[in-house]
Amino acid sequence: MNMEGLRKSILAGSWYPADPDILRRDIEKYIRNVPDQELEADIVSIIVPHAGYIYSGQVAAYAYKLVQGKNYDAVIIVGPSHRVAFRAISIYSQGAFETPLGVTPIHERIAGEMKHISKIIVDYPAAHAEEHSLEIQLPFLQSVLGRFSFIPLIMGDQSAAVCRELASVISQVAEGRRILIVASSDLSHFHDYQKAKELDEIVLKNIKNDNVEGLLNDLAHGKTEACGGGPVAVAMLAAGQLGARHSQLLKYANSGDVTGDKESVVGYMSAALYR
């Protein structure tokens, strides 16, 4: 592991607690609050939100509880770029990410394979420097999986063509390995409560129906919104190529359910794709 490439937390103390004991207790509480559910399946991918934990942590816990204690050769996390505009997929291919719960290494061999397969996957460190959509997932993963290695991917381009290429790359490197794909996405932003639910239901319906083409079309034509719509489509496409034929919506809520302010909300959901 190349510790020269250590990316330190930018969210500790704001988006989630900086104190490891408090952070661990919060995540354990979110997990405990999820009703037990039987899903005797091989989970290939989960879709989770990426807001601060007080807003979306409980929604995310519904997905993370399903993979608690499971073993994976690697985790691939795909998120959208919020801070930097670029026309590619940025991979963080060497080193590790640090959170208050510890240091999680990059799976450098798989990262190298991905860059070799596709020229759209590049090292672009600036995309990772201030991005929250990947880091916000790590404390949950560290809590439910323990020790693991991962590959962080930020989508600067969420077009359908790029989604298809990235999904193909993921399915190729996952062949013969046990890989968990994590898609990081919030839903609609800053509509009133009812409008948000209407827009979000379009995304939820496409996921429930395993209709990735419908999702891509609805996003492209402005019929719905998801800031990580590309990562969701990538997860659905790659999971399908890896034999996942089933999807389950686990939880939906929006920020108005937490804050009580229903004038301008952000939508969150969690889901699982499995075989």
CA dihedral 186, 190, 196, 202 (to 10 degrees): -50
pLDDT of the residue at 144: 97
* CA distances to 3, 79, 101, 266 from 229, in Å: 32, 9, 29, 14
Rounded to 5°, the CA angle 214-215-220 comes to 100
| SS3 label, residue 90 | strand
Residues of the domain holding 155: 3-274
Rounded distance, CA 75 to CA 170, Å? Answer: 11
Residue 80 pairs with which residues in a beta bridge? 155
The predicted model gives 75-98 an average pLDDT of 93
The predicted model gives 17-30 an average pLDDT of 98
pLDDT of the residue at 2: 46
pLDDT of the residue at 3: 57
Model confidence over 28-46: pLDDT tens digits?
999 999 998 877 789 999 9
Rounded distance, CA 239 to CA 33, Å? Answer: 28
Rounded distance, CA 92 to CA 130, Å? Answer: 13
If one counts every other C-beta atom within 10 angstroms of the C-beta of residue 168, the result is 15
Within the chain, what is the greatest distance between any pair of CA atoms?
48
pLDDT of the residue at 38: 73
To the nearest whole percent, how much of the chain has pLDDT over 70? 99
The continuous run of DSSP H or E covering 204 comes out as helix 193-208
Q: Which residues contact 196 (CB under 8 A, 6 or more apart)?
A: 187, 188, 254, 256, 265, 266, 267
Whole-model pTM: value is: 0.95
pLDDT of the residue at 241: 97
Model confidence over 157-201: pLDDT tens digits?
999 999 999 999 999 999 999 999 999 999 999 999 999 999 999
The predicted model gives 66-92 an average pLDDT of 93
Burial (Cβ within 10 Å: 0-12, 13-18, ≥19) of residue 86: middle
Rounded distance, CA 127 to CA 17, Å? Answer: 24
Rounded to 5°, the CA angle 74-77-78 comes to 145
AA letter at 22: I
Q: How many independent structural domains does the chain possess?
A: 1
- Which residue did the predictor score with more confidence, 132 or 12? 12
Mean pLDDT, the chain, rounded, equals 94
Whether residue 232 has pLDDT greater than 50: yes
The continuous run of DSSP H or E covering 26 comes out as helix 20-32
pLDDT of the residue at 87: 86
Whether residue 228 has pLDDT greater than 50: yes
Rounded distance, CA 204 to CA 207, Å? Answer: 5
Out of 95-99, 129-133, 169-173, which region has the weakest mean confidence (pLDDT)? 129-133
pLDDT of the residue at 82: 87
What is the CATH number for 248?
A: 3.40.830.10
Q: H helices of 52-122, where?
A: 53-64, 108-117
| SS3 label, residue 190 | strand
> pLDDT grade, residue 231 (50/70/90)?
very high
